[in-house]
Amino acid sequence: MAKSSVLFVCSACGSTTSKWSGRCEACGEWNTISEERPATAGPPSKSLKPARGRTVPLTDLAHAEPPPPRTSSALSELDRVLGGGLVPGSAILVGGDPGIGKSTLLLQGAAAFAAAGLSVVYVSGEEASAQVRMRAERLGLSGAKVRLAAETNLRDILATLDAERPDLVIVDSIQTMWADNVDSAPGSVSQVRAAAHELTSFAKARGSAVMMVGHVTKDGQIAGPRVVEHMVDTVLYFEGERGHQFRILRAVKNRFGPADEIGVFEMTGMGLAEVANPSALFLSERGAPAPGSVVFAGIEGTRPVLCELQALVAPTPQAQPRRTVVGWDGGRLAMILAVLEARCGIPFAGLDVYLNVAGGMKISEPAADLAVAAALLSAREDSALPAETVVFGEISLSGALRPVAQTENRLKEARKLGFTAAIAPRGGKAGDASGLSLTEVGDLAAFVGDIFGA
Ligand code: TYD
Ligand code: MG
Find out whether the beta carbon of 101 lies less than 6 Å from any atom of ligand 1: yes
CB burial of residue 67 (10 Å; 0-12, 13-18, 19+) = exposed
Q: Give the integer Cα–Cα distance in Å for 375 and 394.
A: 14
For ligand 1, mutation pick of 267, 270, 272, 274 (most atoms within 8 Å of CB): 267
Find out whether the beta carbon of 186 lies less than 6 Å from any atom of ligand 1: no
For ligand 1, the distance from its centroid to the CA atom of residue 96, given in whole angstroms, is 12
CB burial of residue 35 (10 Å; 0-12, 13-18, 19+) = exposed
- Rounded to 5 degrees, φ, ψ at 116 are -85, 5
Q: Give the integer Cα–Cα distance in Å for 322 and 316.
A: 9
CB atoms within 10 A of CB 360: 20
Ligand nearest to the CA of 97: 1
Q: Which residue's alpha carbon is nearest to atom 25 within ligand 1?
A: 271
173 Cβ contact list (under 8 Å, min separation 6)? 102, 125, 126, 212, 213, 214, 215
Find out whether the beta carbon of 273 lies less than 6 Å from any atom of ligand 1: no
pLDDT tens for the chain, residues 1 to 454: 445 577 888 877 777 888 888 888 888 888 888 887 766 555 545 555 556 677 877 777 666 666 668 999 999 999 999 999 999 999 999 998 888 999 999 999 999 999 999 999 999 999 999 999 999 999 999 899 999 999 999 999 999 999 999 999 999 989 999 998 888 888 888 888 899 999 999 999 999 999 999 988 766 666 665 678 889 999 999 988 777 788 999 999 999 888 888 999 999 999 999 998 888 888 887 878 889 999 999 998 888 999 999 999 999 999 999 999 999 999 999 999 999 999 999 999 999 999 999 887 889 999 999 999 999 999 999 999 988 999 999 999 999 999 999 999 999 999 989 999 999 999 888 887 778 999 999 999 999 988 777 5
Ligand nearest to the CA of 247: 1
In one letter, which amino acid is 69? Answer: P
For ligand 1, the distance from its centroid to the CA atom of residue 283, given in whole angstroms, is 25
Q: Residues within the annotated binding site for ATP?
A: 96-103
Cis amide leading into 173 (omega within 30): yes
State the pairing for strand pair 33-36/7-10: antiparallel
pLDDT in tens, 22-74: 888 888 888 888 887 766 555 545 555 556 677 877 777 666 666 668 999 99
Query: CA 107: distance to chain centroid?
Result: 19
Assigned CATH topology for domain 281-452: Ribosomal Protein S5; domain 2 (3.30.230)
For ligand 2, the distance from its centroid to the CA atom of residue 100, given in whole angstroms, is 8
Q: What ipTM was predicted for this assembly?
A: 0.97
Atom index in ligand 1 nearest the CA of residue 96 equals 7
pTM above 0.95, yes or no: no
For ligand 1, the distance from its centroid to the CA atom of residue 129, given in whole angstroms, is 16
**Residues 176, 152 contacting (CB under 8 angstroms):** yes
**DSSP letters along 13-39, please?**
T--EESS--SB-TTT--BS-EEEEPPP
Nearest to 416 by CA among 440, 428, 433, 392: 433
Find out whether the beta carbon of 416 lies less than 6 Å from any atom of ligand 1: no
**If you compute the radius of gyration of the chain from its CA atoms, what whole number of angstroms results?**
25
**Residues 435, 415 contacting (CB under 8 angstroms):** yes
- Pick 71-276's CATH classification: 3.40.50.970, 3.20.20.70, 3.40.50.720, 3.40.50.300: 3.40.50.300
Nearest to 311 by CA among 388, 374, 392: 374
Q: Which residue's alpha carbon is nearest to atom 2 within ligand 1?
A: 101
Q: Which residue's alpha carbon is nearest to atom 12 within ligand 1?
A: 101
Nearest to 95 by CA among 194, 158, 174: 174
Find out whether the beta carbon of 138 lies less than 6 Å from any atom of ligand 1: yes
130 Cβ contact list (under 8 Å, min separation 6)? none
DSSP 8-state secondary structure symbol assigned to residue 361: -
* C-alpha torsion sign, points 395, 397, 402, 405: negative
Ligand nearest to the CA of 173: 2
For ligand 1, the distance from its centroid to the CA atom of residue 246, given in whole angstroms, is 13
Ligand nearest to the CA of 98: 1
Q: Give the integer Cα–Cα distance in Å for 63 and 130.
A: 47
CA distances from 2 to 5, 27 (A): 9, 28
